[in-house]
Chains A and B, each alone.
Chain A
Amino acid sequence: EIVLTQSPATLSLSPGERATLSCRASQSVSSYLAWYQQKPGQAPRLLICDASNRATGIPARFSGSGSGTDFTLTISSLEPEDLAVYYCQQRSNWPWTFGQGTKVEIK
């Protein structure tokens, strides 16, 4: 099973700042990695497919990069509504797995 390790566990930033979230895979997942946003009390929302492709309707301030074992989700300029937990997920190998999440707090 591929283990996805996300860091940091919590990120506390002010509106307008740049957020950089990391996801590291225990073995290569090529580019088969997604990012999801989960706001309190809601279902997850797909942000990024295949490491760097924004899903439909996702604002341009969200971007993804990486391949192999190291991936990054960047929020270029934080908005108050970006308060959420962010998860990465791989579909390279069965079973599909999620990371443990990074919580983004807004100062």
Chain B
Amino acid sequence: QITLKESGPTLVKPTQTLTLTCTFSGFSLSTSGVGVGWIRQPPGKALEWLALIYWDDDKRYSPSLRSRLTITKDTSKNQVVLTLTNMDPVDTATYFCAHTSRISSRYYFDYWGQGTLVTVSS
């Protein structure tokens, strides 16, 4: 059974760096064809894809946020970490991590974490 869970601060101040951890189970990020992505959703708004890391350490980023985003993986801990620098109130959103696999989901997001709401405010 695949599960993912996001963790991190619920409140950050403007200009601070946000660090979110996605801890997962039921799959390995060293398995060929597997990836973990981050997606966010401002309150009442649409989903926005942020970043994705694959089993081979290939990394992809949203161009609009590329200068502020970093995604890394720790295969031994079954974790993926997302950092977003220079936080602004417009970054207030629920942040989701999600599993993707060439085999199980044709590279779409088939398992999602519950999401974590991050508020940016002084």
Q: Which residue of A lies closest to B63 (CB)?
A: A95
Across the interface, A95 reaches (CB within 8 A) one of B62, B98, B106, namely: B62
CA distance A50 to B105 in the complex (A): 9
Q: Which of A52-67 contact B (CB under 8 A)?
A: 53, 55-56
Residues of B with C-beta under 8 A to A89: 47, 49, 108-109
CA distance A49 to B110 in the complex (A): 10
Residue pair A43, B46 in contact (C-beta under 8 Å): no
Across the interface, B105 reaches (CB within 8 A) one of A43, A55, A98, A101, namely: A55
Q: How large, as a class, is the contact surface on chain A? A: 20 to 34
* Min CB–CB distance B84 → chain A (angstroms): 15
Residue pair B47, A91 in contact (C-beta under 8 Å): no
8 closest residue pairs by CB, A with B: A43-B112, A34-B108, A98-B47, A49-B106, A96-B49, A100-B46, A46-B110, A95-B62
Q: Other than the known A49-B105, A53-B106, A95-B63, what 20 A-B pairs have Cβ atoms closer than 8 Å? A: A34-B108, A36-B109, A38-B47, A43-B115, A44-B109, A45-B112, A46-B105, A46-B109, A49-B106, A55-B108, A89-B47, A89-B108, A89-B109, A96-B37, A96-B49, A98-B39, A98-B47, A98-B48, A98-B49, A99-B46
B residues at A contact (CB < 8 Å): 37, 39, 46-49, 52, 60-63, 96, 98, 104-110, 112-115
14 contacts between A and B (CB under 8 A): A1-B63, A34-B108, A43-B96, A44-B47, A44-B96, A44-B112, A45-B112, A46-B108, A55-B108, A91-B107, A95-B62, A96-B49, A98-B48, A101-B47
